[in-house]
Amino acid sequence: MASLSLRNIIKRYGHGPKANQVIHGVNAEIKDGEFVVIVGPSGCGKSTLLRMVAGLEEISGGELRIGDRVVNDLEPAQRDIAMVFQNYALYPHMTNFENMAYGLKIAKVPKEEIKARVDKAAKILELGHLLERKPRELSGGQRQRVAMGRAIVRQPQVFLFDEPLSNLDAKLRAQTRLEIQKLHRELGITSLFVTHDQVEAMTLAQRMIVMNAGNMEQFGTPEEVYHTPATTFVASFIGSPPMNLLKNAPGAQPGTILGIRPEHLDVRSEGWAVTVETVELLGAERLIYGRINGEQIIVRVEEGTHSPEPDSVIHVQPRADRLHAFDATTGKRK
């Protein structure tokens, strides 16, 4: 295992004044054994950043360290990493045992050690009874576990996951998230996990990097990112539904955007006047969509709360200790 250090990492395509820079100076110190999620919308640079760590993309500037080694110019095979991709990339003509063992066989690891490593990984992933089958005989979740097993047997210093759950249905994604958490607890290997799904990020990460247009907007624990977002982008991206960001809220100062999460607005007999547009029933809770001073606002209320009619007016009281202030020009937290 090893720590992972990203120091002013830059990626650009092309040279000279026409070069297109897509990663803008990412700095992150990832501890030995830590599970870090890189999250952001499509095209934000998260997979590019992961591929630079893997050695599949050239680093244009900055320094990347795995443990005490600078690895900028090392080939992927020299970096002591293992990668799990979105597509399982399993050989269809091989058994699952052979798929998991293939990299070790190429590396000329002795047969007895290969079997021991594969059996250990299969036990952790509950694949022992499936080793003699071929990938076509497995479900999508089982194939992804075989792909993870192939990475585990390598015994790398760093695991890299590139959106490994995006091909699974919602139930399997939830199940596989639990398996990945269990896997990390048992192995304790430094891990970078890329996803566009903020639920995956919040449930898996010990710390998370939130990316936007090639910039690292925030690096912190899920609690820090959720409760004290560094920018309006983070506030709007993390959380479902997102934080309300209001320029015209009562009491807002000029040049300031007020942020308040939907669950931190309490329906009261007085307070901010909200014109109701629609109500969404989500089982144990309701989301009230409305407008205040021309801006949309969302209020989350618990099951059993009276549902207001469209076009009616309700009053909500923001919890004072849950208000956030952002600079209207830069979007940064004040």
Q: How far apart are CA 200 and CA 209, in angstroms?
A: 13
**Do 227 and 283 fall within a single domain?**
no
Q: With pLDDT > 70 as the criterion, what percentage of the chain qualifies?
A: 100
Q: What is the pLDDT of residues 170-186, one digit of tens each?
A: 888 888 888 889 889 98
Burial class (CB in 10 A: 0-12, 13-18, 19+), 112: exposed
Q: How far apart are CA 184 and CA 256, in angstroms?
A: 42
Residue 314's CATH number:
2.40.50.140
**Do 284 and 188 fall within a single domain?**
no
Write down the pLDDT at residue 118: 94
The residue type found at 141 is: G
- Cα torsion at 217, 218, 219, 220 (round to 10°)? -160
Q: β-strands 256-260, 244-246: how paired? A: antiparallel
**C-alpha closest to that of 207 among 25, 2, 33:** 33
Contact assessment for residue 210 and residue 225, using Cβ atoms and an 8 Å cutoff: yes
**Do 163 and 90 fall within a single domain?**
yes
The residue type found at 49 is: L
Q: How far apart are CA 334 and CA 324, in angstroms?
A: 8
Q: Residue 1 pLDDT > 80, yes or no?
A: no
Burial class (CB in 10 A: 0-12, 13-18, 19+), 92: exposed
Residue 77 lies in a domain: yes
Q: How far apart are CA 84 and CA 151, in angstroms?
A: 7
Residue 333 lies in a domain: no
Question: What does pLDDT average to over the chain?
Answer: 93
Residue 159's CATH number:
3.40.50.300
Residue 332 lies in a domain: no
**Do 181 and 282 fall within a single domain?**
no
Q: Enumerate the H helices of 211-305 as residue ranges.
A: 222-227, 232-237
Give the other-Cβ count within 10 Å of 87's Cβ: 13
Q: Which domain holds residue 269?
A: 244-327
Write down the pLDDT at residue 178: 87
Mean pLDDT, to the nearest integer, of 120-148? 90
End residue of a domain, out of 234, 265, 297: 234
What does pTM read for this prediction? 0.90
**Do 172 and 320 fall within a single domain?**
no
**Do 53 and 155 fall within a single domain?**
yes
Q: How far apart are CA 153 and CA 159, in angstroms?
A: 11
**Do 192 and 228 fall within a single domain?**
yes
What is the residue-wise DSSP string for 21-40? EEEEEEEEEEPTT-EEEEE-
| Residue 199, both tokens | 């639920």
**Do 168 and 298 fall within a single domain?**
no
End residue of a domain, out of 186, 211, 234: 234
Number of structural domains the chain divides into: 2
Residue 334 lies in a domain: no
Three-state SS at 144: helix
**C-alpha closest to that of 207 among 196, 220, 223:** 220
**Do 158 and 273 fall within a single domain?**
no
Write down the pLDDT at residue 175: 85
Radius of gyration of the chain (CA): 24
Give the other-Cβ count within 10 Å of 74's Cβ: 14
Write down the pLDDT at residue 298: 98
**Do 177 and 200 fall within a single domain?**
yes
Q: Note if the bond before 241 is cis, omega within 30 degrees.
A: yes
Residue 251 lies in a domain: yes
Residue 314 lies in a domain: yes
Q: What is the pLDDT of residues 268-326, one digit of tens each?
A: 999 999 999 999 998 889 999 999 999 999 999 998 788 899 999 999 999 999 999 99
Q: How far apart are CA 72 and CA 8, in angstroms?
A: 12
| Residue 137, both tokens | 């005989």
Q: In the Cβ-directed half-sphere of 58, how many Cα atoms lie within 13 Å?
A: 5
**Do 58 and 196 fall within a single domain?**
yes
Confidence grade of residue 122 (pLDDT, cut at 50, 70, 90): very high
Q: What is the pLDDT of residues 306-322, one digit of tens each?
A: 889 999 999 999 999 99
Residue 306 lies in a domain: yes
| Residue 270, both tokens | 């007085």
Give the other-Cβ count within 10 Å of 187's Cβ: 15
**Do 194 and 320 fall within a single domain?**
no
Three-state SS at 111: helix
